[in-house]
């Protein structure tokens, strides 16, 4: 149980394109999901906390207008990288917290999306 599906797994597109990444909790409800960014051989940097039915909470230094987050249902959060440029190329990972277990339990991670902007 506790499976998180992230799609697509890989995106290669031209500069200026907007890219949408989906994060779905398949067998549990998740009021709260998290979006991370990871550069090669580095750790995960939290970008934002996504909350169903309300605005996302962004970490300091993360551009809200650049990284649009929508959490329209209890099983789906989306991250849209708007007008992507080569510097946005990275590995993006989402995670979800199972509503049944509460905040102190582990997060469940998707398999990540490798975004390459040409």
Partner 1 sequence: SQQGEEDPQALSIQEGENATMNCSYKTSINNLQWYRQNSGRGLVHLILIRSNEREKHSGRLRVTLDTSKKSSSLLITASRAADTASYFCATAISGGYNKLIFGAGTRLAVHP
- Segment interacting with partner 1 (CB under 8 A) among 12-20, 30-38, 65-73, 76-84: 30-38
Given 17, 29, 57, 70, the residue binding partner 1 (CB under 8 A):
57
The two three-digit tokens of residue 101, written as one number: 């277990």
Q: What are phi and psi of 80, to 5 degrees?
A: -110, 120
Q: Which stretch binds partner 1 (CB under 8 A): 12-20, 63-71, 74-82, 98-106?
A: 98-106
Task: Look up residue 58 and give its DSSP letter.
Answer: E
For the chain, the first-to-last Cα distance in angstroms comes to 37
**Any contact of residue 104 with partner 1 (CB under 8 A)?**
yes
């Amino acid at each position: 149980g506790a499976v998180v599906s992230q799609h697509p797994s890989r995106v290669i597109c031209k500069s200026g394109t907007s890219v949408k990444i989906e994060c779905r909790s398949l067998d549990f409800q998740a009021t709260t999901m998290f979006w991370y960014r990871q550069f090669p051989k580095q750790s995960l940097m939290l970008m934002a906390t996504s909350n169903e039915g309300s605005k996302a909470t962004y970490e300091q230094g993360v551009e809200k207008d650049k990284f649009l987050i929508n959490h329209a249902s209890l099983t789906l959060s989306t991250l849209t990288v708007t007008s992507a440029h080569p510097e946005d190329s990275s590995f993006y990972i989402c995670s979800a917290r199972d509503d049944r277990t509460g905040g102190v339990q582990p997060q469940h991670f998707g398999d990540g999306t490798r975004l390459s902007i040409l």
